Amino acid sequence: QVQLVESGGGLVQPGGSLRLSCAASGRTSSVRFMGWFRQAPGKEREFVAAIRWGGASTYYADSVKGRFTISRDNAKNTVYLQMNSLKPEDTALYYCAATTTSFATMREEYNYWGQGTQVTVSS
């Protein structure tokens, strides 16, 4: 089992920045990718970004490319999502997730999920 705990959400004005953190514990040796997903009210949960746990490969949704950066600190078993130039449409509940499969961007392939952290972009 892998346990995930997110932090760092909050209220920010359009154009502002936030950094989300996800601390992983448990059987992290089985993890192949860590990802961030988000779900806005009335919408499906969607892929945002992913990073290979044991390497440097990263993946991004088109809607966040150039604005969001995913990174990791293996020594701390922590993954980060730096979000810049935030827009109102980025408002959502953001989830950290882990997968033991090779599918980095597919929500259905993620085995473990955090509880979510709310990001609200509003003036």
**Range name among 1-5, 42-46, 53-57, 115-119 with the lowest pLDDT average:** 53-57
45: nearest Cα among 123, 120, 122, 113: 113
Tokens of 81: 């999502």
Dump pLDDT digits (tens) for 37-60: 999 999 999 999 999 998 789 999
Burial of 57 (0-12, 13-18, 19+ CB in 10 A): exposed
Query: pLDDT per residue over 79-91, tens digit each?
Result: 999 999 999 999 9
